[in-house]
Amino acid sequence: MTSSDDALVITRVVNGLGRIELNKAKAINALGRDMIASIDNALNEWRDDDAVAAVLITGRGERGLCAGGDIKAIYQDLVAGTSESQDFWAEEYRMNFDIANYPKPYIAIMHGITMGGGVGVSVHGSHRVVTETTKLGMPETGIGLFPDIGGTYLLAQTPGEIGMYMGLTGLPIGPGAALAYGLADTFVPQDKVDELVAALEADGTKAVETLATFAADAPANELAEAEAWINTCFAHDSVEAIIAALLAHGDEDAAKTAEVIKSKSPQSLAVTFEMIRTAKTMTLQDVLERDLRAGTEIAARPDLREGIRAQVIDKDRNPQWNPATLGEVEQAEVDAILNTEQDRKVFS
């Protein structure tokens, strides 16, 4: 257990409740390799501990539960040419699998920004709580990656073409859509969250019942009006066809969405499209194993380094993608990214 307020992940047991607090608020609790280890160690310790009846994960700070992985650290690894990112991903994906298969109630409070790796520590859990501040998304195509942490598995389970819309655009959704599309379970007003945490800590053996007493009416699904054009336009058989359909549709928001997609890494778009399309018939374990293969292959190509540089290093927001257009992305290259065998495995 790490109970010090200086720890990046604070873990402790309170009246039968295993508490995990992400404690890197200035970085919106972005996950580093040491944080992954702390979370997974706690989960493994509590798995067979009769003194722990349920687990609660929260993030300190008002900005959100977790903005994702520490992409600055990934950039440094790419520049140095080491295998640190590959090791990080393998350990993170194992943790995601542990969360998805945890034998006890796993409650995540997804306030504010919950993206990328933040989705991994929350949406895979059994009880996902959103508030009116929640911004849930997988924005990886904007940095030259793809929705990893089993993200394509989660997106493939959503109804219609919502998952393809989220995966290609990287746009976040709010609490209403998260609940409507099966990415969250319970709405609790933000001003009731502290009270909820206190009640859960009062008796962890009644965590599920306590959570139910705080559930409020779900807010409106903010994508409800867009569902028709999303389901029509994103049902096409290539990213290029999706963009063409969006531009031809006539809805102003559809046209804006096309422009959002066109700003992303063409290579990442093609890979993400294939991953979401095929994840519908895959297990989470197989998806996570594929995530590591694909991440390793993408890291060996220029777009991930360039995307992180443009977004968080130089912050010029002007990535020079390679290939520069979707037309230049060859299917053989996409297949190589997804299928090339790697020595490093998530599950040995």
**Assigned domain for 274 exists:** yes
Q: Is residue 344 part of a domain?
A: no
- This prediction has a pTM of 0.95
Comparing CA positions, the residue from 223, 181, 20, 188 lying closest to residue 104 is 20
32/88 Cα distance (integer angstroms): 8
CA–CA distance, 165 with 7 (Å, rounded to integer): 37
Average pLDDT over residues 248-273: 97
Residue 288 pLDDT greater than 80, yes or no: yes
Contact criterion met (CB below 8 Å) for 289 and 338: no
pLDDT digits (tens, 9 = 90+) for 194-216: 999 999 999 999 999 999 999 99
Is 32 catalytic? The answer is: no
Q: Which of 131, 158, 155 has its CA nearest to residue 219?
A: 131
Q: What is the mean pLDDT of residues 256-276?
A: 98
Q: Give the pLDDT confidence score for residue 256 in this predicted structure.
A: 97
Q: How far lies 101's CA from each of 180, 253, 278, 348, in Å? A: 23, 38, 22, 17
Structural domain of 81: 9-339
Active site residue 314: no
Active-site residue (options: 18, 69, 170, 176)? 69
**What percent of the chain lies above the pLDDT cut of 70?**
99
- Give the domain CATH number at 206: 3.90.226.10
Q: Which residue among the candidates 77, 148, 201, 306 is catalytic per the annotation?
A: 148
Residue 265, phi then psi, degrees to nearest 5: -65, 120
Mean pLDDT of 286-296: 97
Residue at 345 is within a domain: no
Query: Among the options 117, 137, 142, 163, which is catalytic?
Result: 117
pLDDT at 1 over 60: no
Which candidate in 77, 140, 185, 289 is catalytic?
A: 140
| 84 domain residue, yes or no | yes
Instruction: Out of 5-9, 60-64, 65-69, pick the least confident.
Output: 5-9
> What is the residue-averaged pLDDT of the chain?
96
> Does residue 348 lie in a domain region?
no
Rounded to a whole number of angstroms, the distance between the first and last alpha carbons of the chain is: 27
| Over residues 156-165, mean pLDDT | 98
In tens, the pLDDT along 118-147 reads 999 999 999 999 999 999 999 999 999 999
CB 124 within 8 A of CB 165: no
* Whether the predicted pLDDT of 343 surpasses 90: no
Question: Residue 3 domain-assigned?
Answer: no
Structure tokens of 293?
Answer: 């293969």
Q: Of the candidates 265, 280, 278, 270, which has an alpha carbon nearest to the alpha carbon of residue 242? A: 270
Is residue 4, in this structure, part of any structural domain at all?
A: no
Q: Look at residue 185 and tell me if it is in a domain.
A: yes
Is residue 148 annotated as a catalytic residue, yes or no?
yes
140 is catalytic: yes
Domain count for the chain:
1
Element (H, E) at 216: none
Q: What is the pLDDT of residue 294?
A: 97
SS3 108: strand
